[in-house]
Structure 1
Amino acid sequence: MSLPIIPLGDGLEVSALGFGGMALSDVYGTTDPDEGVRTLHAALDAGVTFIDTADVYGTPREGTSGPAGTNEELIARVLADRRDEVQLATKFGIAGSAADGITRGDRDYVRQACENSLRRLGVDTIDLYYMHRRQLDLPIAETVAAMAELVAEGKVRHLGLSEVTATELTEATTVHPIAAVQSEWSIWSRDIEANVVPRAAELGVGLVPYSPLGRGFLTGTITAERIAQTALSRSPRFSEHFDANQGVVEVVREVAGELDATAAQVALAWVYAQGAAFGVPTVPIPGTRSAQRVVENAGAVSLTLSDAQKARLDTAADLVRGGRNFSFSADDWISSGRE
Structure 2
Amino acid sequence: MISTRRLGGLEVGAQGLGCMGMSQAYGVRDDDTESIATVHRALELGVTLLDTANVYGAGANEELVGRAIAGKRDQVVLATKFGIVWDKDGGMSARGDAAYVKQSCEESLRRLNVDHIDLYYQHRVDPDTPVEETWGALAELVQEGKIRFAGISEASAETIRRAHAVHPVTALQSEWSLWTRGIEGEILSTARELGVGIVPFSPLGRGFLAGSVTSVKDLPEDDMRRGLPRFAEGNFERNMAIVEALRALAEQKGVTAGQLALAWVQAQGDDVVPIPGTKRRKYLEENTAAAELELSEVDIEAIEKAAPLEAIAGERYPERLARAAGK
Q: Do these two structures clear the TM 0.5 threshold for a shared fold by scoring above it?
A: yes
Q: SS of 1:158's equivalent? A: strand
2:117 to 123, 126, 129: 126
Give the letter aligned to residue 283 of structure 1.
V
Residues in 2 aligned to 1:260 and 1:301: alpha-carbon distance in whole angstroms: 15
Alignment of 1:52-131 (within 5 A): 52-58=51-57, 68-96=58-86, 99-131=90-122
Question: 1-side partners of 2:87 and 2:56: how far apart?
Answer: 9
- Aligned mate of 1:291, from 277, 281, 298: 281
How many angstroms apart in 2 are the aligned matches of 1:306 and 1:318?
23
For structure 1, the residue ranges without an aligned partner over 5 or more in a row are 59-67
The answer as to whether partners of 1:140 and 1:172 remain within 8 angstroms in 2 is: yes
Indicate the residue corresponding to 2:28 in structure 1: 30
The answer (yes or no) to whether the contact 1:128–1:160 under 8 Å persists in 2 is: yes
What code does the residue aligned with 1:232 have? Answer: R
- CA distance, structure 1, for counterparts of residue 132 and residue 242 of structure 2: 39
1:15 to 13, 16, 22: 13
Within the alignment, does 1:234 sit opposite 2:227 as a pair? yes
Q: Does 1:209 align with 2:200?
A: yes
Equivalent residues in 2 for 1:178-257 (5 A)?
Answer: 178-222=169-213, 223-227=215-219, 229=221, 230-240=223-233, 241-257=235-251
For the residues of structure 1 that align with 2:63 and 2:155, how far apart are their CA atoms? 27
Alignment of 1:152-191 (within 5 A): 152-191=143-182
- AA paired with 1:237? R
How far does the alpha carbon of each residue in 1:45-84 deviate from its partner, in whole angstroms, 9 at most, with x for none? 22111100000001xxxxxxxxx11000001111112111
The residue number in structure 2 matching 1:265 is 259
On the 8 A contact 2:118/2:148 being kept in 1, the answer is yes
Find the aligned partners of 2:218 and 2:82 in 1 and give their Cα distance.
29
Query: Contact 1:228–1:239 at 8 Å: present in 2 too?
Result: no
In structure 1, what is the Cα distance between the partners aligned to 2:196 and 2:324? Answer: 22
State, as a whole percentage, how many aligned pairs show the same letter: 47
Cα distance per residue 1:22-44 (max 9 Å; x no partner): 01013111122222111111111
- SS of aligned partner of 1:189: coil
State the 1:170 CA deviation: 0.7
Q: More deviation in 30-39 or 49-58?
A: 30-39
* Counterpart residue identity of residue 83, structure 1: R
Return closer, same or farther for 1:26/1:332 CA change in 2, 3 Å cut-off: closer
TM-score by length of 2: 0.94
Question: 1:178 and 1:246 mapped to 2: Cα distance?
Answer: 37
Match in the other structure for 1:40:
39
How many corresponding residue pairs? 320
Identify which range, 314-323 or 178-187, moves more after superposition: 314-323
- Residue segments in structure 2 that go unaligned for 5+ positions in a row: none
Q: Which runs of 4+ in 1 moved over 6 A?
A: none
Offset, 1:255: 1.8
- 1:251 touches 1:312 (CA, 8 Å); kept in 2? no
Q: Is the 8 A contact 1:227 1:239 kept in 2?
A: no
**1:235, distance to aligned residue in structure 2 (A):** 1.3
- Letter paired with 1:321: A
Give the Cα separation in 2 of the matches to 1:234 and 1:28.
12
Structure 2: how far apart are the matches of 1:206 and 1:290? 27
1:12 and 1:177 mapped to 2: Cα distance? 12
Tell me, yes or no, if the aligned pair for 2:178 and 2:304 is still in contact at 8 Å: yes
Amino acid at match of 1:320: I
1:320 aligns with: 312
Contact 1:56-1:97 at 8 Å conserved across structures? no
What is the CA–CA distance in structure 2 between the aligned matches of 1:332 and 1:295, rounded to whole Å?
A: 35
> Contact between 1:130 and 1:162, CA under 8 Å: does it hold in 2?
yes
Q: Counterpart amino acid of 2:260? A: V
Distance 1:308 1:333 in 2: 37
